[in-house]
Structure 1
Amino acid sequence: MTTPTTQPVAPASELTGGRRRTTLVASLAISQTIGYGTLYYAFAVLLAPVAAHLHTSTTAVTGAYTASVLTGAALAVPVGRWLDRHGGRLLMTAGSAAGVLLLLAWSQVDTLWQLYLVQIGIGAASAASLYEAAFAIVIAATSTAHRSNALLTLTVVAGFSSTVFLPLTGWLVANHGWRTAILVLAGIQALAVPLHAFAVQRPANHHHMNPARDDESRPGVGAVRAALADRGFWLLALGFTAHTAAITAVTVHLVAALISWGHPPTFAATIAGLLGALSVAGRLLTTGLQRRYRTTTVTAAVFSVQAAAALLLPFVGANTGGAIGAVIGFGLGFGVATIAKPVLLAERYDTRRYATLAGILVVPMTLAKAAAPLAAAGLHTRAGSYTPVLITVAACCALSAAAIASTRPTQRIGSMGGPSTSRCNDHGALGVPE
């Protein structure tokens, strides 16, 4: 008589925690897809029709976008500190709800100053509800063993945001006008509110989210000081800032550039929408490569490919095949920085102050995000061509690749300002066992 094999059964608490983690990641993945589509990517398609209605230049309208991003930069560190102390449920719910109201207001603007006010509000709503807040929640709510897959899942799903919302917004504008298009986007944005309200919880097992335990949170202050004294932190800041400038300039101006080279607006919006799907492919490719190479090496290599693609684009962009090929080359690195930055920060520094450190790093990145589209618009106006814009984008990608490659592996910077006993592992970041 054979004895049946007894299968190990996971504890109920582990199963419950797994379900909660899955629910959290799934909810944030959907909310980020929606939020980036409505509050960020749609602007590129709305740029020209809004400028035409307001009887102003695209540069002036781009300035409203700049004001939005600057607002996000000003709020990055305060938002990070709030997240470290209180968690993200209230903040992310309020931010997504504010996004709905601001989109409704945007649909009714008739003057440039009204547009600027709305975009400033959208900057605040984005700081409270988009990636930086979501990453902090995921890192706080997951263990090291589950964190990499959670971040990858979140960014892979949200990577389709531009693929969905750029063509959708283009179709809405073409068939119903820009005001109705924004009203539809506001209705979609409303779906993010309950996702944040019910899925984001205060992580009970992370003391840095508990403001009552100040005795344990004080060492995190030392982690911030240690990070700011680390040369690698500033190399990461330089690399990701330069890359943000390149990515943002292309995001805002790619549709207009393709149209200027003779492509129909619908084609231009569709090709630009490929960036989202390509960002997903790039993240998956990066994950595979990191099984054999360090995160910094893979990231720098991808940024170098982007530099080559951006340099080629103005010379082959008038041809349909050339435009698609160059956009594919650039798009493969479109989302790599999004996942590489939190991974490198979590590997290198004390995660008890992750949100604060991320907020500090986001400030120069957000300033670049604000300035790059406006600078690109000014450069295009002066040159009468997008060629110098794309050459500058290529230079930024090359600089970011060099800076990231120069960041050497190190021991984790501990909470008291020195290395911890655990070695920083560059091979376990994106799904590879640590």
Structure 2
Amino acid sequence: MTATARARWIVVSATGVLTGLGHGFGAFAVSALLKPLAVDLDTGRGAVSTAIGLGRLVSGLASPLVGRATDRWGTRWISIVGIIVAAIGLLLLGFVRNEFELYIAWSVVFSIGTAIGFTVTLDKLVVTTLSERRGMALAIRFSIAAVVSTFVVPIVSYMGDTVGWRQTSIVWGFVLLAMVAVPLVWFREQNIQTTSIGPALTDAVPVQRSVLRDRNFWVIGLALAAQAGVTTGLSVHLVSIMTDHGLAATSAGSLFGLMILLSIPVRILSGYVADKFATRILPIVLGLLLVLEALAIASFAWEPGLLSLITLIGAMGVAAGAPTLLVLVLCSKLFGESKFATIQGSLMLMQVPATMVAPMAAGYLYDYTGNYEMVSWGFAAVLLSGGTLVMLLIRTDQVEAGA
């Protein structure tokens, strides 16, 4: 391996670490803080879930702007700004006294920072750094993020039990501030500028043609919104679901972390499939993943118990990264890479309604029914529809003809 190639894989690895520490906290570890937040602020799980859901809204609204800025100015300083803003949000979270302040700290400040520093910007960096093996590069990035998140969830759960959720938020804010050194040292704009334009497909499907008139864009967006909404809704409540079934908070956090860890082989396999298989195969694989996740969720709704809960956790492990990886590679093949971040930001914006409503709906339905069965049935139906939509409607014939 040449020095240049080694440097590029270091960049890929660094993006995984950052995402695991930042986005991993917001997407997964927050589940461990749901109960203590609700108790300490004297409110219900629905109200805390609303703050988390509004955070998804803010992130989604910011994503297209972040994508445009990344395509125009590069990744280094944008990621630095995002890390700092996210850290400030967690520091503020440690001092909130009511729901309104929770919304400001989490829903606005932390969520904006996460959108800027840990998602679109870093995906764009990976895609443009390794254009020939971008599927495997994304798999490595997401796998490293999964490993880091695996440790983050039980650590946050343990800290929440021992020192409290406020101190945990403050400590994690300083951890993120320390991570500013990563883009300062390893993210150089030449990582983007020296890469090749990409495969002939990039020129065959010019981004100037409005993707808003492309059916594939809308099918992918709707399916990804369904998957993201269900995954977000379950992730926020998963620790609570496990503790409701008798597991201790620390054990639930560890099992949550194991779920993320078990997703790594699936991510690697997805990266291999994305690189080696024809474009027309990817929608079928993506749709099947969504359908299988729907069946796992339905099994928990049908017969809540330890076995169905383990099945649900396993399905969540698959859903934690494989569908997103396949979508990113599919989009790069369908629409090209020159405006990749802008397109990804638009897709993330389409996820906003689902990722905002799903945690809130799950929280309020739990408050009303006292269980998560109705939530599970609804989530299973949404995923089944999304998976079917992908397999039946995405067309890749024009793309493969121009490749």
Does TM, scored on the shorter chain, surpass 0.5? yes
In structure 2, the residue corresponding to 1:351 is in which secondary structure? coil
Of stretches 32-41 and 288-297 in structure 1, the one that deviates more from structure 2 is 288-297
The one-letter code matched in structure 2 to 1:142 is: L
Quick one: distance in 1 between partners of 2:158 and 2:216? 45
* Structure 1 position 405, deviation (Å): 0.9
Unmatched 5+ stretches in structure 1:
1-9, 209-218, 413-418, 424-434
Quick one: distance in 2 between partners of 1:170 and 1:75? 29
Q: How does 1:214-225 map to 2 (within 5 A)?
A: 223-225=207-209
When the two structures are superposed, what TM-score results if normalisation uses the length of structure 1? 0.84
* Residues 1:410 and 1:83: Cα distance change in structure 2 (over 3 Å): farther
Q: Is residue 262 of structure 1 aligned with residue 250 of structure 2?
A: no
Q: Which has the higher contact order (CA 8 A, sep 6+)?
A: 2
Partner of 2:163: 176
Q: How does 1:32-431 map to 2 (within 5 A)?
A: 32-119=19-106, 120-143=108-131, 145-202=132-189, 203-205=192-194, 223-287=207-271, 291=276, 294-319=281-306, 321-406=307-392, 407-412=394-399, 422-423=402-403
Superimposed CA distance per residue, residues 52-99 of structure 1 (whole angstroms, 9 cap, x where no aligned partner): 111111211222112211111111111111011100111101111222
In structure 2, the residue corresponding to 1:160 is in which secondary structure? helix
Superimposed CA distance per residue, residues 139-196 of structure 1 (whole angstroms, 9 cap, x where no aligned partner): 22332x2322211110111123442122111111111111222222223223321112
Contact 2:88–2:109 at 8 Å: present in 1 too? no
Count of residues in Structure 1 that have an aligned counterpart in Structure 2: 391
Pairwise CA RMSD of aligned residues? Answer: 2.4
* Structure 1 position 117, deviation (Å): 0.7
Quick one: distance in 1 between partners of 2:370 and 2:25? 30
Quick one: distance in 1 between partners of 2:72 and 2:97? 40
Of stretches 307-316 and 73-82 in structure 1, the one that deviates more from structure 2 is 307-316
* Residues 1:362 and 1:322: Cα distance change in structure 2 (over 3 Å): closer
When the two structures are superposed, what TM-score results if normalisation uses the length of structure 2? 0.90
Superimposed CA distance per residue, residues 245-285 of structure 1 (whole angstroms, 9 cap, x where no aligned partner): 11011101111122223333233222222331132232233
* Residues 1:160 and 1:400: Cα distance change in structure 2 (over 3 Å): farther
* Residues 1:196 and 1:226: Cα distance change in structure 2 (over 3 Å): same
Contact 1:249–1:373 at 8 Å: present in 2 too? yes
Quick one: distance in 1 between partners of 2:220 and 2:120? 16
Superimposed CA distance per residue, residues 306-347 of structure 1 (whole angstroms, 9 cap, x where no aligned partner): 11110112344433x442233213422331122112101101
Quick one: distance in 1 between partners of 2:95 and 2:204? 45
Identity level (%): 24
* Residues 1:193 and 1:359: Cα distance change in structure 2 (over 3 Å): same
Of stretches 290-299 and 230-239 in structure 1, the one that deviates more from structure 2 is 290-299
* Residues 1:80 and 1:186: Cα distance change in structure 2 (over 3 Å): same
The one-letter code matched in structure 2 to 1:101 is: I
* Residues 1:197 and 1:40: Cα distance change in structure 2 (over 3 Å): farther
Determine which structure has the larger helix proportion and give its number.
2
* Structure 1 position 287, deviation (Å): 4.1
The one-letter code matched in structure 1 to 2:20 is: T
Superimposed CA distance per residue, residues 199-226 of structure 1 (whole angstroms, 9 cap, x where no aligned partner): 2222223699xxxxxxxxxx99962543
Quick one: distance in 2 between partners of 1:99 and 1:332? 27
Quick one: distance in 2 between partners of 1:283 and 1:180? 33
Quick one: distance in 1 between partners of 2:135 and 2:308? 35
The one-letter code matched in structure 2 to 1:286 is: S
Quick one: distance in 1 between partners of 2:237 and 2:314? 16
* Residues 1:355 and 1:335: Cα distance change in structure 2 (over 3 Å): same
